[in-house]
Amino acid sequence: MRVLIVEDDPDIASGLAVALKQEGCAVDLAPHLSQAWSALSVEPFDAVLLDLGLPDGDGLALLRRVRQQTTRHAHNAHSSTYPHPNTPILIMTARDAVPDRISGLDTGADDYLVKPFDVQELMARLRAALRRAAGRASPLIEYGALSVDPATHSVTLQGQPVALGAREFSLLLTLLHAKGQVLDRSRLEAALYGFNESLDSNAIEVHIHHLRRKLGPDWIRTIRGVGYVLNPDKA
Ligand code: CA
Protein backbone atom coordinates (compact mmCIF):
# COMPACT_ATOMS: atom_id res chain seq x y z
CA MET A 1 0.00 0.00 0.00
CA ARG A 2 1.34 3.41 -0.97
CA VAL A 3 0.46 6.33 1.27
CA LEU A 4 1.01 10.06 0.81
CA ILE A 5 1.53 12.00 4.04
CA VAL A 6 0.63 15.67 3.62
CA GLU A 7 2.01 17.28 6.77
CA ASP A 8 4.26 20.31 7.34
CA ASP A 9 5.40 19.40 10.85
CA PRO A 10 8.62 17.45 10.16
CA ASP A 11 8.49 15.54 13.46
CA ILE A 12 4.93 14.33 12.96
CA ALA A 13 5.60 13.53 9.29
CA SER A 14 8.75 11.50 9.91
CA GLY A 15 7.21 9.70 12.90
CA LEU A 16 4.26 8.68 10.76
CA ALA A 17 6.51 7.65 7.89
CA VAL A 18 8.54 5.35 10.14
CA ALA A 19 5.40 3.77 11.62
CA LEU A 20 3.77 3.21 8.23
CA LYS A 21 6.94 1.72 6.76
CA GLN A 22 7.05 -0.71 9.67
CA GLU A 23 3.55 -1.76 8.58
CA GLY A 24 4.90 -2.47 5.09
CA CYS A 25 3.60 0.69 3.40
CA ALA A 26 5.50 2.69 0.80
CA VAL A 27 5.41 6.28 2.00
CA ASP A 28 5.93 9.70 0.43
CA LEU A 29 5.96 13.03 2.23
CA ALA A 30 4.56 16.33 1.02
CA PRO A 31 4.91 19.33 3.37
CA HIS A 32 3.02 21.70 1.04
CA LEU A 33 -0.30 21.51 -0.81
CA SER A 34 1.46 22.18 -4.12
CA GLN A 35 3.83 19.25 -3.63
CA ALA A 36 0.95 17.04 -2.55
CA TRP A 37 -0.97 17.80 -5.73
CA SER A 38 2.11 17.20 -7.90
CA ALA A 39 2.67 13.82 -6.27
CA LEU A 40 -0.99 12.83 -6.50
CA SER A 41 -1.13 13.80 -10.19
CA VAL A 42 1.60 11.44 -11.29
CA GLU A 43 1.62 8.48 -8.89
CA PRO A 44 -1.04 5.97 -7.84
CA PHE A 45 -1.53 6.41 -4.09
CA ASP A 46 -3.81 4.04 -2.19
CA ALA A 47 -4.51 6.54 0.57
CA VAL A 48 -3.71 10.08 1.73
CA LEU A 49 -3.15 11.35 5.27
CA LEU A 50 -3.98 15.03 5.17
CA ASP A 51 -3.09 17.78 7.63
CA LEU A 52 -5.38 20.82 7.43
CA GLY A 53 -3.12 23.73 8.37
CA LEU A 54 -0.45 23.84 5.66
CA PRO A 55 1.95 26.65 4.71
CA ASP A 56 0.32 27.30 1.33
CA GLY A 57 -3.31 26.80 2.26
CA ASP A 58 -5.98 24.63 3.81
CA GLY A 59 -5.86 20.85 3.35
CA LEU A 60 -9.58 20.94 2.59
CA ALA A 61 -8.74 22.63 -0.73
CA LEU A 62 -6.73 19.56 -1.75
CA LEU A 63 -9.50 17.25 -0.59
CA ARG A 64 -12.04 19.20 -2.66
CA ARG A 65 -9.77 19.10 -5.72
CA VAL A 66 -9.32 15.32 -5.54
CA ARG A 67 -13.05 14.69 -5.16
CA GLN A 68 -13.77 16.98 -8.12
CA GLN A 69 -11.81 14.63 -10.36
CA THR A 70 -15.09 12.69 -10.63
CA THR A 71 -16.26 14.60 -13.69
CA ARG A 72 -13.06 13.95 -15.58
CA HIS A 73 -13.24 10.22 -14.82
CA ALA A 74 -16.91 10.02 -15.72
CA HIS A 75 -16.11 11.39 -19.17
CA ASN A 76 -13.37 8.87 -19.73
CA ALA A 77 -13.94 5.53 -18.02
CA HIS A 78 -10.54 4.24 -19.10
CA SER A 79 -8.71 7.28 -17.87
CA SER A 80 -5.67 6.35 -15.86
CA THR A 81 -5.02 9.92 -14.76
CA TYR A 82 -4.38 10.41 -11.09
CA PRO A 83 -5.60 10.99 -8.53
CA HIS A 84 -8.62 8.75 -8.57
CA PRO A 85 -11.54 10.74 -7.08
CA ASN A 86 -12.32 7.94 -4.63
CA THR A 87 -8.82 7.80 -3.15
CA PRO A 88 -9.29 7.30 0.61
CA ILE A 89 -8.33 10.50 2.42
CA LEU A 90 -8.00 10.70 6.20
CA ILE A 91 -7.77 14.11 7.79
CA MET A 92 -5.31 14.63 10.63
CA THR A 93 -6.26 17.64 12.64
CA ALA A 94 -5.34 19.40 15.83
CA ARG A 95 -8.63 21.21 15.44
CA ASP A 96 -10.86 19.45 17.86
CA ALA A 97 -13.80 21.71 17.09
CA VAL A 98 -16.87 19.88 15.86
CA PRO A 99 -17.51 22.32 12.93
CA ASP A 100 -14.04 21.52 11.51
CA ARG A 101 -14.68 17.79 11.62
CA ILE A 102 -18.08 18.26 10.02
CA SER A 103 -16.70 20.39 7.18
CA GLY A 104 -13.94 17.82 6.61
CA LEU A 105 -16.37 14.93 6.36
CA ASP A 106 -18.78 16.97 4.24
CA THR A 107 -15.96 17.88 1.86
CA GLY A 108 -15.41 14.16 1.28
CA ALA A 109 -12.93 12.96 3.87
CA ASP A 110 -13.25 9.26 4.65
CA ASP A 111 -12.34 9.73 8.28
CA TYR A 112 -10.45 12.04 10.58
CA LEU A 113 -8.01 11.67 13.43
CA VAL A 114 -7.45 14.26 16.14
CA LYS A 115 -3.77 14.80 16.98
CA PRO A 116 -2.10 13.27 18.84
CA PHE A 117 -3.38 9.87 17.76
CA ASP A 118 -2.27 6.30 18.14
CA VAL A 119 -0.58 4.81 15.07
CA GLN A 120 -2.35 1.48 15.52
CA GLU A 121 -5.67 3.30 15.45
CA LEU A 122 -4.56 5.14 12.33
CA MET A 123 -3.68 1.81 10.64
CA ALA A 124 -7.07 0.33 11.57
CA ARG A 125 -8.88 3.39 10.19
CA LEU A 126 -6.76 3.25 7.01
CA ARG A 127 -7.67 -0.40 6.48
CA ALA A 128 -11.36 0.36 7.05
CA ALA A 129 -11.23 3.24 4.54
CA LEU A 130 -9.52 1.00 1.96
CA ARG A 131 -12.13 -1.70 2.54
CA ARG A 132 -14.95 0.76 1.95
CA ALA A 133 -13.22 2.14 -1.15
CA ALA A 134 -13.03 -1.41 -2.51
CA GLY A 135 -16.69 -2.01 -1.62
CA ARG A 136 -15.94 -4.78 0.85
CA ALA A 137 -17.56 -5.26 4.25
CA SER A 138 -15.38 -8.18 5.35
CA PRO A 139 -11.82 -7.45 6.48
CA LEU A 140 -10.62 -10.61 4.69
CA ILE A 141 -9.88 -10.63 0.97
CA GLU A 142 -10.72 -13.99 -0.58
CA TYR A 143 -9.55 -15.10 -4.01
CA GLY A 144 -10.35 -18.73 -4.60
CA ALA A 145 -8.32 -20.80 -2.14
CA LEU A 146 -6.34 -17.73 -1.15
CA SER A 147 -7.31 -15.68 1.90
CA VAL A 148 -5.54 -12.43 2.78
CA ASP A 149 -5.92 -10.38 5.96
CA PRO A 150 -4.59 -6.82 5.50
CA ALA A 151 -4.79 -6.17 9.26
CA THR A 152 -2.42 -8.94 10.28
CA HIS A 153 -0.54 -9.33 6.97
CA SER A 154 -1.43 -13.00 7.12
CA VAL A 155 -2.05 -15.12 4.04
CA THR A 156 -3.46 -18.61 3.88
CA LEU A 157 -3.67 -20.92 0.91
CA GLN A 158 -6.20 -23.72 1.31
CA GLY A 159 -6.17 -22.92 5.02
CA GLN A 160 -2.38 -23.26 5.30
CA PRO A 161 -0.39 -20.18 6.34
CA VAL A 162 2.00 -18.72 3.75
CA ALA A 163 4.82 -16.49 5.05
CA LEU A 164 5.38 -13.47 2.81
CA GLY A 165 7.90 -10.64 3.06
CA ALA A 166 6.53 -7.08 3.38
CA ARG A 167 7.02 -6.24 -0.32
CA GLU A 168 5.66 -9.62 -1.44
CA PHE A 169 2.58 -8.97 0.66
CA SER A 170 2.16 -5.47 -0.83
CA LEU A 171 2.58 -6.89 -4.33
CA LEU A 172 -0.07 -9.55 -3.72
CA LEU A 173 -2.48 -6.93 -2.29
CA THR A 174 -1.89 -4.67 -5.29
CA LEU A 175 -2.65 -7.52 -7.70
CA LEU A 176 -5.79 -8.40 -5.73
CA HIS A 177 -7.00 -4.78 -5.75
CA ALA A 178 -6.45 -4.58 -9.52
CA LYS A 179 -9.45 -6.89 -10.02
CA GLY A 180 -8.24 -8.50 -13.22
CA GLN A 181 -6.57 -5.44 -14.71
CA VAL A 182 -3.05 -6.19 -16.02
CA LEU A 183 -0.49 -4.04 -14.17
CA ASP A 184 2.82 -3.15 -15.79
CA ARG A 185 6.12 -3.04 -13.98
CA SER A 186 6.16 0.73 -13.48
CA ARG A 187 2.67 0.63 -11.96
CA LEU A 188 3.77 -2.11 -9.54
CA GLU A 189 6.98 -0.24 -8.69
CA ALA A 190 4.90 2.85 -7.95
CA ALA A 191 2.66 0.82 -5.64
CA LEU A 192 5.54 -0.72 -3.70
CA TYR A 193 8.19 1.98 -3.53
CA GLY A 194 8.24 5.65 -2.55
CA PHE A 195 9.84 8.38 -4.71
CA ASN A 196 13.19 8.40 -2.98
CA GLU A 197 13.63 4.68 -2.52
CA SER A 198 16.22 3.13 -4.77
CA LEU A 199 15.35 -0.19 -6.32
CA ASP A 200 16.95 -2.65 -8.71
CA SER A 201 15.53 -2.70 -12.22
CA ASN A 202 14.43 -6.30 -11.74
CA ALA A 203 12.95 -5.80 -8.22
CA ILE A 204 9.38 -6.54 -9.32
CA GLU A 205 10.45 -9.67 -11.25
CA VAL A 206 12.23 -10.89 -8.11
CA HIS A 207 9.14 -10.34 -5.92
CA ILE A 208 6.94 -12.06 -8.53
CA HIS A 209 9.35 -14.98 -8.58
CA HIS A 210 9.16 -15.31 -4.78
CA LEU A 211 5.37 -15.08 -4.77
CA ARG A 212 5.14 -17.82 -7.39
CA ARG A 213 7.49 -19.99 -5.42
CA LYS A 214 5.41 -19.58 -2.26
CA LEU A 215 1.89 -19.70 -3.74
CA GLY A 216 2.43 -21.93 -6.74
CA PRO A 217 3.65 -21.17 -10.27
CA ASP A 218 0.24 -20.58 -11.86
CA TRP A 219 -1.22 -17.92 -9.52
CA ILE A 220 0.28 -14.96 -11.35
CA ARG A 221 0.22 -14.68 -15.11
CA THR A 222 2.80 -12.80 -17.12
CA ILE A 223 1.23 -11.02 -20.07
CA ARG A 224 4.20 -10.60 -22.37
CA GLY A 225 5.09 -7.00 -23.06
CA VAL A 226 2.27 -5.77 -20.81
CA GLY A 227 2.62 -6.89 -17.22
CA TYR A 228 1.18 -9.13 -14.54
CA VAL A 229 -2.27 -10.23 -13.42
CA LEU A 230 -3.68 -12.78 -10.99
CA ASN A 231 -4.82 -15.91 -12.78
CA PRO A 232 -8.61 -15.48 -13.18
CA ASP A 233 -9.04 -19.27 -13.24
CA LYS A 234 -7.99 -19.32 -9.57
CA ALA A 235 -10.70 -16.93 -8.38
CA1 CA B 1 0.18 21.84 10.01
**Each residue's pLDDT tens digit, 118-176:** 888 999 999 999 888 888 778 889 999 999 998 888 999 999 999 999 899 999 999 99
Q: What CATH number corresponds to the domain at position 193?
A: 1.10.10.10
pLDDT in tens, 111-120: 989 888 888 8
pLDDT in tens, 183-220: 999 999 999 998 878 888 899 999 999 999 999 999 99
Q: Which residues of 22-57 are buried (b: 16+ CB within 10 A; e: fewer)?
A: ebbbbbbbbbebebbbebbeebbbbbbbbbbebeee
Which has more confidence, 94 or 36?
Answer: 36
Q: What single-letter amino acid sits at 140?
A: L
Give me ligand 1 centre to Cα 53, in Å. Answer: 4
Of 134, 152, 187, the last residue of a domain is: 134
Q: What pLDDT is attached to residue 102?
A: 85
Give me ligand 1 centre to Cα 48, in Å. Answer: 15
pLDDT in tens, 8-45: 999 999 999 999 988 888 999 999 999 999 999 988 89
Give me ligand 1 centre to Cα 2, in Å. Answer: 21
Do 178 and 115 belong to one domain?
no
Of 134, 168, 189, the last residue of a domain is: 134
Do 200 and 129 belong to one domain?
no
Give me ligand 1 centre to Cα 7, in Å. Answer: 6
Do 120 and 178 belong to one domain?
no
Do 16 and 92 belong to one domain?
yes
Q: What pLDDT is attached to residue 95?
A: 64
Q: How many domains does the chain have?
A: 2
Query: Is a pLDDT exceeding 50 seen at residue 79?
Result: no
Mean pLDDT of the chain: 89
Nearest CA among 206, 18, 231, 31 for reference residue 123: 18
Of 134, 152, 168, the last residue of a domain is: 134
Averaged pLDDT, 47-59? 95
Range of the domain at 212: 141-234
